[in-house]
Amino acid sequence: MKFELLKTDPGSRARRGRLHLAHGTVETPVFMPVGTRATVKAMMPDQLSAMGAELILANAYHLFVRPGHELIRGLGGLHRFMAWDRPILTDSGGYQVYSLSGLRRIDDDGVSFRSHLDGSPLFLSPEVAVDVQAALGSDVVMVLDDCLGYPATPADAARSMRRSMDWAVRSRARFDGAASDGQALFGIVQGSVFPDLRRESAQRLRDVGFDGYAVGGLGVGDPVETMYDLVEAQDPWLPAECPRYLMGVGTPRDLIECVARGVDMFDCVMPTRHARNGWLFTRTGHIVIRHAAYRADDGPIDVDCACPVCARYSRAYLRHLFLSKEVLSPVLNTLHNLFFYLDTMRRIRHAIEFERFNELLTWARSSGAA
Amino acid sequence: MKFELLKTDPGSRARRGRLHLAHGTVETPVFMPVGTRATVKAMMPDQLSAMGAELILANAYHLFVRPGHELIRGLGGLHRFMAWDRPILTDSGGYQVYSLSGLRRIDDDGVSFRSHLDGSPLFLSPEVAVDVQAALGSDVVMVLDDCLGYPATPADAARSMRRSMDWAVRSRARFDGAASDGQALFGIVQGSVFPDLRRESAQRLRDVGFDGYAVGGLGVGDPVETMYDLVEAQDPWLPAECPRYLMGVGTPRDLIECVARGVDMFDCVMPTRHARNGWLFTRTGHIVIRHAAYRADDGPIDVDCACPVCARYSRAYLRHLFLSKEVLSPVLNTLHNLFFYLDTMRRIRHAIEFERFNELLTWARSSGAA
């Protein structure tokens, strides 16, 4: 893996970069559509390519449970399995296992849990998480981390962060033995909303050394301004020459605000999940397509959008599909929302290149597009 | 509307033709993907065009109930509403209203029924059915018919057929006053499984005069051989210079058998509905994708299929999507099944052109592809 830092915005911490991964090159800042179970819900890979997706996310935990990473390895790896030949980052599943509360037991060794599908006992450790992602053939492997809810006490947050850091050391060791050439490994900063803990976490990860650094444990109920402050605070604690990835965040405005604070990579289920619920993004705020106001509305979702849905379909038709529970409804809604997110990233990259990022930031704060 | 009869198979009643409709030309024999509610379930129009679909079917009854034909007229008509610029045939909804048993009352005037959505009272007559389809802007309008279950007594079948014929007369009159230039009107032969009744029905329709003639009321529980015999019997009762459309039928073998008996047009929910249930067509019979046998199967659905799904995806992946209830599962399965049906029609047309239709018929009877 190689990360080129092409340009830094003079008025903010925004960075324009290029990430060279085993399956291709990714222009940053980048948004990764979420393809948890080896499919970005409702999308065919050629639709993702056509809208400019360069890197997608899949989830090692989900694929470990079903259909199994060894099965996928036997079928030629995750890229071939899902017919996506561009780069893939896999999340380790720390957050998913954390969400299984009641079904799981975490200790320093790892996580014992029962499959959410059939109740069978399973075990995930830092080493297993690396092995799973090595089998999948991910371009970017994420370490397993110990996730924590919000709010947490400083003591709990410290204990959890230190366990995550021990796991990061073990992940690094396993990765160096088990991964293929060309795979990259990212560490994850933890420490809840406590700057001292997050600083310690970042320092410990730097001491180990990773290809990239993720910011975990934010956007889980903490106030958005706290998140912005913490992202900004840790910018100097992370090596400038490595990509920084803010996990699971956020709204279109969050993307712009966090690029301004030094983030290069994002993923979030918001565009895809909201699409299935009929919540559609526009440059002037969202619309909820089931509303009666759109019954006979012959306009597109967003008159300024260049996506194939806005080129062809009226809000009235999209409302009809949604109310009729037609399969085409999540397909078209997802196409639009993902296009909107990827287009937001394009605008961010152009704004940095042409030194107009500050204008974009001002627009994001005033337009209601969040 | 204009129908060109290009060639007749010397060894059967199979016909190769070309149908010129308001929105384009259709090569026959043709299979129409079913787009009941102004969407061929799970498909984008460009996917349908890419696989060679030239004519699709929508349902006037369903669109009358929701979102309403006047709404669609106000939005520029059905073609624009669903972003399909090629020809559309609309079924009148006789069969759908018949299926509402308990919720409807039929007399000579028409059908009183309650909306399956909100219970509101609605009324459909031959005149209303034509008005709805005129508002939608269908290329081919179907008359409203009185549908009957199987088995039926000769007396019931005669009464129902004669009512349908009276309705056909009224439909013709309304159509001549209400339809736009370029719309075509098809009559529907009824009479259950009784040849004398079907012959009388065909004669009465010819006396009225329609652009095309449909065969209704078959494939509703009657034995398949009876259907084949009745289709063959009525070939000489219908004008050779008009297209014949067998409604709601059938398996791939049914298509080939009924082309051999003089049918030019088909529609059926089988490829799309079966797709959503994981039943996939191949040249050597169907497969049920959820079966454990496909767990690690790295082959395509059908090794001889040229569809985009068979080009990219393993049975193992399609099984994974189906078991995971992913939206991409009905999308990919529908793409394959519809491609298979349209490819079957292509093979039929080529076989007639190259005078090898008999070979195709022999293959269909021995291959298990039904």
* B298 interaction partners in chain A (CB closer than 8 Å): 75-76
What per-residue confidence (pLDDT) applies to A334?
98
Is residue A102 over pLDDT 80?
no
| Cβ B32 vs Cβ B139: under 8 Å | no
Is residue A370 over pLDDT 70?
no
- All domains of chain A in start order, with CATH: 2-268 (3.20.20.105), 269-370 (no CATH)
First to last CA, chain A: 33
What CA–CA distance (Å, rounded) separates A168 from A162?
Answer: 10
Bridge-partner residues for B56, per DSSP?
A: B88
State ipTM.
0.97
Matching residue, tokens 């009643």: B13
* A85 interaction partners in chain B (CB closer than 8 Å): none
What CA–CA distance (Å, rounded) separates A190 from B173?
Answer: 76
Query: B91, B139, B211, B343: which is the annotated catalytic residue?
Result: B91
What per-residue confidence (pLDDT) applies to B369?
63
What is the average per-residue pLDDT within A147-154? Answer: 94
The full length of chain B comes to 370
- Count of other CB atoms within 10 angstroms of residue B285: 11
Mutation for testing the A interface, residue in B34, B41, B44, B272 having most A CBs under 10 Å: B44
- Among chain B, residues having any CB pair with chain A shorter than 8 Å are 37-39, 41-45, 66-67, 71, 74-76, 81-83, 276, 295-296, 298, 312-314, 316-317, 319-321, 323-324, 326-328, 330-332
Pairing of strands B104-106, B111-114: antiparallel
**Chain A, nearest residue to B85 by Cα:** A312
Mean pLDDT of successive 10-residue stretches along chain B, which has 370 residues? 97 98 98 98 98 98 96 98 98 88 87 88 96 98 94 97 98 96 97 97 98 95 95 96 97 97 98 98 96 98 97 98 98 98 98 97 83
Positions of E strands within chain B: 2-8, 15-21, 24-28, 30-32, 56-59, 88-91, 104-106, 111-114, 121-124, 140-142, 184-189, 212-215, 244-246, 265-267, 279-280, 287-288
Token pair of A320 as six digits: 């009809």
* A43 interaction partners in chain B (CB closer than 8 Å): 328
| Cβ A219 vs Cβ A170: under 8 Å | no
* A319 interaction partners in chain B (CB closer than 8 Å): 67
3 state SS of A14: coil
Is pTM beyond 0.90? Reply is yes
| Cβ A45 vs Cβ A80: under 8 Å | no
What CA–CA distance (Å, rounded) separates A104 from A98?
Answer: 8
| Cβ A78 vs Cβ A133: under 8 Å | no
What per-residue confidence (pLDDT) applies to B368?
74
Class of residue A275 by CB neighbours under 10 A (exposed 0-12, middle 13-18, buried 19+):
buried
Q: What percent of chain A has pLDDT over 90?
A: 92
- The predicted-structure confidence for A174-216, as pLDDT tens digits, reads as follows 999 999 989 999 999 999 999 999 999 999 999 999 999 999 9
What per-residue confidence (pLDDT) applies to A313?
98
Token pair of B33 as six digits: 């993907």
Token pair of A245 as six digits: 């990835």
Report the candidate in B130, B199, B266 with the shortest Cα–Cα distance to residue B257.
B266
- The predicted-structure confidence for A58-79, as pLDDT tens digits, reads as follows 999 999 999 999 999 999 999 9
- Cβ of A38 and B298 within 8 Å? no
What CA–CA distance (Å, rounded) separates A340 from A274?
Answer: 12
Q: How confident is the model at residue A99 (pLDDT cuts 50, 70, 90)?
A: confident
3 state SS of B147: coil
Query: B146, B267, B302, B343: which is the annotated catalytic residue?
Result: B267
Kindly state the DSSP code that residue B191 receives in the 8-state scheme. -
What CA–CA distance (Å, rounded) separates A333 from A349?
Answer: 24
Is residue A263 over pLDDT 70?
yes
For residue A145, give how far its alpha carbon lies from the nearest alpha carbon of chain B (Å): 26
What per-residue confidence (pLDDT) applies to B66?
96
Report the candidate in B277, B221, B226, B219 with the shortest Cα–Cα distance to residue B251.
B219
- Count of other CB atoms within 10 angstroms of residue B81: 26
What per-residue confidence (pLDDT) applies to B116?
81
What per-residue confidence (pLDDT) applies to B163?
98
Kindly state the DSSP code that residue B149 receives in the 8-state scheme. -
3 state SS of A335: helix
- Cβ of B75 and A326 within 8 Å? no
